[in-house]
Amino acid sequence: MTQEYFEVHTSMTNTVEGSSVTVDVNTARICENMTNAQFRILIMKLRDIAVKMIDVRHGALLNTWTTEKQRVKTWFGSEDEQIRQMLIDGLPRLKAAMLELNPGKFFRFDDEKGQTTSCLPSVDNGNTDAAICKPDSKRRIIYFFPHFCTSHAAKLDDENKLKNLIHECTHFTDTFNSDDVAYGYGKALQIWASMNPTKTANNADSIACYITYQESANLGTDAELYGSK
């Protein structure tokens, strides 16, 4: 049995009668198919993969633009200098924000922790994967919904947890301050981009797919990633 330990309250021993503290802990699993300890390990592994991918894309924007601009056009419908500069400026901010993530930032969508943020997570509509509260961007808290658990961990030509994690981090106001203009992955989102090039720069899925999408690439299953050293 996997056990996990995390700080829920700090106190000092004293002899004052009635000074005990009641602590409520939500032990419900974020994903039914793994413990919360395994989930948090998985997300941190995906975070590390994301950071490396961000570095690759940023380097390509700076050093191999002749070839990189086709990838940019695929996901943004344009290869103009404005899009390029937006990515050059935003990717380092996204990397920095993701490096601030730690296992204590990840919660179920219905966790009591939501009561301490400026806005509550969205109501679960059955298709929601995750959510953040933009006014609390500096806190880097991410809420996960059951649908998130149903996708691949890092199968890069399909919906996957890696892409969805990056998607949420692009919403932080100090990264890209992105919105959900259009959802999608693969060919459908590419077609939408080609038809709506003026709407892509601020679209979370467009940025996330630009960073992660790769045909026939699978970087590991949930179990392989949370079980690896």
User: How do residues 67-121 score in pLDDT, each as one tens digit?
Assistant: 999 999 999 999 999 999 999 999 999 999 999 999 999 999 987 765 577 887 7
* pLDDT at residue 108, rounded to an integer: 94
* pLDDT at residue 124, rounded to an integer: 79
- Whole-angstrom Cα distance, residue 121 to residue 111? 10
Mean per-residue pLDDT for 190-207? 97
Query: Average pLDDT of the chain?
Result: 88
* pLDDT at residue 106, rounded to an integer: 96
- The pair of three-digit structure tokens given for residue 143, joined into one six-digit string: 């809420």
**Is residue 6 scored above 70 in pLDDT?**
no
**Is residue 65 scored above 50 in pLDDT?**
yes
Report which of residues 67 and 25 the model is more confident about.
67
Percent of the chain scoring above 70 in pLDDT = 86
Query: CB pairs under 8 A, 24+ apart, for 54-59?
Result: 54/91, 54/94, 54/95, 54/98, 54/211, 55/95, 57/87, 57/91, 57/210, 57/211, 58/87, 58/88, 58/91, 58/92, 58/95
Over residues 167-197, the pLDDT tens digits come to 999 999 999 999 999 999 899 999 999 999 9
* Confidence class for position 220, pLDDT limits 50, 70, 90: very high
Grouping H, G, I as helix, E, B as strand and the rest as coil, residue 175 is: coil
Kindly give the pairing relationship between strand 142-144 and strand 106-108: parallel
* pLDDT at residue 22, rounded to an integer: 37
Mean per-residue pLDDT for 37-42? 98
- Whole-angstrom Cα distance, residue 199 to residue 197? 5
**Is residue 11 scored above 60 in pLDDT?**
no
Of 97-106, 125-134, 147-156, the least confident = 125-134
Mean per-residue pLDDT for 63-70? 97
Question: Shortest CA distance to 68 belongs to which of 51, 49, 87?
Answer: 87
Mean per-residue pLDDT for 51-67? 98
- Whole-angstrom Cα distance, residue 147 to residue 152? 11
Report which of residues 83 and 19 the model is more confident about.
83
**Is residue 157 scored above 80 in pLDDT?**
yes
**Is residue 24 scored above 70 in pLDDT?**
no
* pLDDT at residue 114, rounded to an integer: 56
Q: Taking the model in full, what pTM does it have?
A: 0.87
